[in-house]
A and B are shown apart, each in its own frame.
Chain A
């Protein structure tokens, strides 16, 4: 097996794949890459299995040294990445030689960058997934963010030829997202939507919400106009990805990958998947709006 070593762990770096399946009924979170769009591109560029495990680097800085040759792909927030002190492009694959040092700086925009290797990281699985859900506090590898000196394994690189598709392969510019713009989150009306009155629905669509610093992989807590719900707690039910929960203080929460599996606060609907991925690249202090998707 080939490997890389973490030389600078940064504030929060985690192994993420697409997340777990068939475990939420036990109270285990789905987990998985928070920005599924950038994550998808990393594996697509490398011709990897779409579920191949990557490193989800939050904010940066971050640094690794490669113990073996490979090809990597990076996508997501712009971290002005350097390969042995030479600046390299985001949203692209890059050839790596043994001993190479890859450095990610603090993100200038966006929040999360994904580093993938050809063949995917081969870290230990828990509940049939490589994704780390720290808040569950399982002991061992899955219990803490990546630390300095940790070695992560990946398959030995196969021989590269002139017809290998995934060398210097980049995402076409028209697919590159803008993380600075004010995001409008499309909500699929569902769950308790029809029990919110028209005034509440109008208010959530006409308000600007600020992302609070209490936002994380469980969900994004928003500050702004309080959305009223007069009916008290609902019977606890399963919470789908992207659910817009309205707690007693009326401040909406968009629930993401590490959300609790069931809950008793009303939900006005669910943000679309692609908008959730974009939300995961927004930082506290940025603003968002909501718009109900038409049926």
Chain B
């Protein structure tokens, strides 16, 4: 776990945002070290105040904590939440820490990096002045942290993308990006879990399904905030064998 005691970027705050939600902010600066910390705080809150909580939405540097005000009022929940945050901080900083990243298992996502399934692959290579194999190598050698899940069910925002292959969102989003498409937007990369509109630069397609609408609650999504993800380049044959579809 991260050593927070000397980290001046770690500035936990908690404030109500409406009658039934509080926002916990742990830093003003996004960094891949925060998502695992947010995941830990979320877990702690679920354990301590779970009976009152209706949702916790972690993202980048914050947690939105929603509660049921039929069973507890804002003042009482805010008081309890402030105390829980302090208790969490005490418990977290009291434990001896090693780097978060080395503790977590890495989720490997197979990706077929090919222009037949990735309409922006060649453009991105050209714009970044890289050969195709260099672009693929750079994208697939980074271990990414899941910063947030949102925009669409199961869509995981991951970072940080190597500066050499960062490209801004498309000026005009596409009306339909096929499910499994792997994209880049600035320093983030992500996989579209279902076909949806989207403005990210599509550089590959994964045959792996990440969102399972009919599964039990804890198995709906393969990825969660703080997870470590690595992409691995596969051949067309492997892509098709894993259930990948070219259309």
Report the separation of the CA atoms of residues A236 and B17 in the bound assembly, to the nearest whole angstrom. Answer: 15
Told that A25-B56, A262-B59 touch, could you supply 7 new A-B pairs with CB distance under 8 A? A23-B55, A24-B66, A27-B150, A236-B60, A237-B59, A243-B17, A273-B19
Nearest residue (CB) in B for A25 is B57
Indicate if B165 sits at the interface (CB-CB under 8 A). Answer: no
Q: Are B153 and A237 in contact (CB under 8 A)?
A: no
Interface, chain A (partner B; CB < 8 A): 21-28, 30, 126-128, 136-138, 188, 190-191, 235-243, 260-263, 269-270, 272-273
Partner of B18, one of A138, A241, A261: A241
Q: Are A190 and B18 in contact (CB under 8 A)?
A: yes
Q: Are A236 and B148 in contact (CB under 8 A)?
A: yes
Given contacts A27-B151, A136-B153, contact A262 B18 (CB under 8 A): no
Given contacts A237-B62, A261-B150, contact A190 B15 (CB under 8 A): yes
Partner of A242, one of B18, B30, B155: B18
- Mark each residue of chain B from 142 to 169: 1 if its CB lies under 8 Å from any CB of chain A, else 0: 0000001111111101000000000000
Distance from B78 Cβ to chain A, minimum over Cβ atoms (Å): 12
A-B residue pairs in contact (CB < 8 Å), sample of 28: A22-B55, A23-B55, A23-B220, A24-B57, A24-B66, A27-B149, A27-B150, A128-B217, A188-B17, A188-B19, A190-B17, A190-B18, A235-B30, A235-B59, A235-B60, A236-B59, A236-B60, A237-B23, A237-B64, A238-B59, A240-B17, A240-B64, A243-B17, A262-B59, A270-B17, A270-B21, A273-B19, A273-B20
Q: Are B54 and A240 in contact (CB under 8 A)?
A: no
Distance from A268 Cβ to chain B, minimum over Cβ atoms (Å): 11
Report A-chain residues with C-beta under 8 Å of the C-beta of B57.
Answer: 24-25, 238, 261-262
Report B-chain residues with C-beta under 8 Å of the C-beta of A23.
Answer: 55, 217, 220
Report B-chain residues with C-beta under 8 Å of the C-beta of A28.
Answer: 153
Nearest residue (CB) in B for A267 is B17
Indicate if B119 sits at the interface (CB-CB under 8 A). Answer: no
Given contacts A126-B213, A188-B19, A273-B20, contact A237 B154 (CB under 8 A): no
Report the separation of the CA atoms of residues A88 and B29 in the bound assembly, to the nearest whole angstrom. Answer: 59
Indicate if B16 sits at the interface (CB-CB under 8 A). Answer: yes
**Interface SS of chain B:** strand
Report A-chain residues with C-beta under 8 Å of the C-beta of B153.
Answer: 26-28, 136
Indicate if B61 sits at the interface (CB-CB under 8 A). Answer: yes
Indicate if B117 sits at the interface (CB-CB under 8 A). Answer: no
Report B-chain residues with C-beta under 8 Å of the C-beta of A137.
Answer: 194, 196
Report B-chain residues with C-beta under 8 Å of the C-beta of A190.
Answer: 15-18, 23
Distance from A115 Cβ to chain B, minimum over Cβ atoms (Å): 24
Nearest residue (CB) in B for A138 is B213
Given contacts A27-B154, A138-B213, contact A238 B19 (CB under 8 A): no
Report the separation of the CA atoms of residues A188 and B18 in the bound assembly, to the nearest whole angstrom. Answer: 6
Q: Are B151 and A262 in contact (CB under 8 A)?
A: yes
Report B-chain residues with C-beta under 8 Å of the C-beta of A269.
Answer: 17
Report B-chain residues with C-beta under 8 Å of the C-beta of A243.
Answer: 17-18
